[in-house]
């Protein structure tokens, strides 16, 4: 049976590391709360001249160098990272492909946010299965949303853990290992206007007034309303997408060997791990990076692999959710089929 496997992964993190103490000082929240409740020891912060295209290229360059990949092998480049990119109304994927020396490939931009990894794996897998000529696809994601945070805006305190970084994955058709299995996605558009950068789009074009009013950072217009509507359903949606992806993989939640999710408050992470019945020691928690839009789950998988914490046959659940609001999952069977 034809399949798509993850042939290699690599990541990139900026050199600047913002500590929990610094985040606490900027936000007025005690350092111990940042560490214990936010689950954040610190996060990486991109330089002023370091953009998502730069970080995506850095992650892909590392992957190519480690694996001896010729850019000419790549049939498609898919960017699925933060929607806040180098320029407005602009695609990062063509520029990334050009800088990597990939000349005979088409590019695809997936305009997702935090749910990016499982959605991208699903789309890439389906595309490669549908088009036999697509043998090798490079999927890249990056985030520099730490630069969109106003630490004085308490409405947006859930963004205080947003950090910067990038990840790259090389997918190959008929690859004998690390096969992408079942996936699932649920979207509830009633949350579409709950999180945004208010100004800069066509509804509220950029102006001196919007800049002076601080309307170009991430905001939550009504945090209480969002919480009251999201809390009662979020856990159920996480479990549903996880269970469905496992069932589509011919398995059940009891068969999850490792969990790679997005960074979130420690209490929510622990609750999801408990609800899914995953061994807490096999659930990656990125307390040294924070949340990096679509990057987190694939970065977690890269870390598990590099640490030697995955065995042949392990079923790895990649689980994410992103504003909009979308919950998504993908399952990878590690090692040879």
- Shortest CA distance to 97 belongs to which of 64, 132, 131, 127? 64
Q: How far apart are CA 296 and CA 304, in angstroms?
A: 12
Interior CA angle at 160 toward 273 and 79, to 5°? 75
* pLDDT at 229 (0 to 100): 97
Q: What is the domain partition of the chain in residue ranges?
A: 4-175, 181-336
Angle between helix axes 296-306 and 116-130 (nearest 10 degrees) is: 80
Phi-psi region of 101 (alpha: psi -120 to 50; beta: other; left: phi over 0): left
Looking at the domain that runs over 4-175, which CATH code has it been given? 3.40.47.10
| Residue-level length of the chain | 337
Angle between helix axes 266-276 and 223-248 (nearest 10 degrees) is: 30
CATH superfamily of 181-336: Thiolase/Chalcone synthase (3.40.47.10)
Q: How far apart are CA 139 and CA 9, in angstroms?
A: 9
Q: What is the CA radius of gyration of the chain?
A: 19
- Which phi and psi angles does 251 have, rounded to 5°? -140, -170
| pTM for this predicted structure | 0.97
Q: What is the full per-residue pLDDT of the chain (337 aa) written as tens digits? A: 799 999 999 999 999 999 999 999 999 999 999 999 999 999 999 999 999 999 999 999 999 999 999 999 999 999 999 999 999 999 999 999 999 999 989 999 999 899 999 999 999 999 999 999 999 999 999 999 999 999 999 999 999 999 999 999 999 999 999 999 999 999 999 999 999 999 999 999 999 999 999 999 999 999 999 999 999 999 999 999 999 999 999 999 999 999 999 999 999 999 999 999 999 999 999 999 999 999 999 999 999 999 999 999 999 999 999 999 999 999 999 999 7
* pLDDT at 195 (0 to 100): 97
Q: Which residues contact 210 (CB under 8 A, 6 or more apart)?
A: 198, 199, 200, 204, 216
Phi-psi region of 37 (alpha: psi -120 to 50; beta: other; left: phi over 0): alpha
Dihedral sign computed on CA atoms, order 4, 76, 305, 261: negative
Same fold, 4-175 and 181-336: yes
Strand runs labelled E in the chain = 4-12, 16-19, 42-45, 76-79, 106-109, 136-144, 164-173, 177-187, 258-260, 283-284, 315-322, 326-336
* pLDDT at 1 (0 to 100): 73
């Amino acid at each position: 049976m034809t399949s798509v496997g993850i042939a290699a992964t690599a990541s990139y993190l900026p050199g600047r590391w913002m500590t929990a103490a610094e985040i606490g000082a900027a936000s007025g929240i005690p350092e111990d709360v940042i560490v214990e409740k936010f689950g954040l020891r610190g996060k990486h912060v991109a330089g002023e001249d370091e953009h998502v295209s730069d970080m995506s290229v850095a992650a892909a360059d590392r992957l190519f160098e480690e694996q001896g990949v010729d850019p000419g092998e790549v049939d498609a480049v898919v960017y699925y990272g933060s929607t806040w990119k180098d320029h407005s109304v602009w695609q990062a994927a063509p520029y990334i492909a050009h800088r990597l020396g990939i000349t005979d490939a088409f590019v695809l931009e997936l305009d997702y946010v935090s749910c990016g990894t499982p959605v991208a794996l699903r789309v890439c897998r389906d595309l490669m299965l549908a088009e036999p000529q697509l043998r090798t696809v490079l999927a890249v994601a990056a985030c520099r949303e730490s630069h969109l945070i106003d630490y004085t805006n308490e409405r947006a305190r859930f963004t205080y853990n947003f950090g910067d970084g990038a990840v790259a994955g090389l997918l190959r058709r008929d690859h004998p290992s690390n096969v992408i299995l079942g996936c699932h996605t649920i979207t509830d558009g009633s949350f579409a206007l709950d999180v945004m950068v208010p100004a800069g789009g066509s509804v509220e074009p950029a102006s001196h007034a919007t800049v002076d009013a601080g309307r170009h950072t991430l905001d939550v217009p009504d945090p209480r309303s969002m919480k009251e509507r999201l809390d009662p359903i979020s856990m159920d949606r996480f479990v549903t997408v996880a269970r469905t992806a496992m069932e589509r993989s011919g398995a059940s939640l009891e068969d999850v060997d490792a969990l790679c999710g997005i960074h979130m408050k420690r209490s929510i992470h622990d609750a999801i791990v408990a609800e899914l019945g995953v061994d807490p020691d096999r659930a990656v928690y990125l307390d040294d990076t924070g949340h990096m839009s679509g990057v987190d789950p694939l970065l977690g998988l890269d870390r598990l692999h590099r640490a030697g914490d995955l065995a042949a046959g392990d079923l790895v659940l990649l689980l994410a959710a992103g504003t909009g609001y979308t919950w998504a999952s993908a399952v990878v069977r590690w090692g040879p089929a």
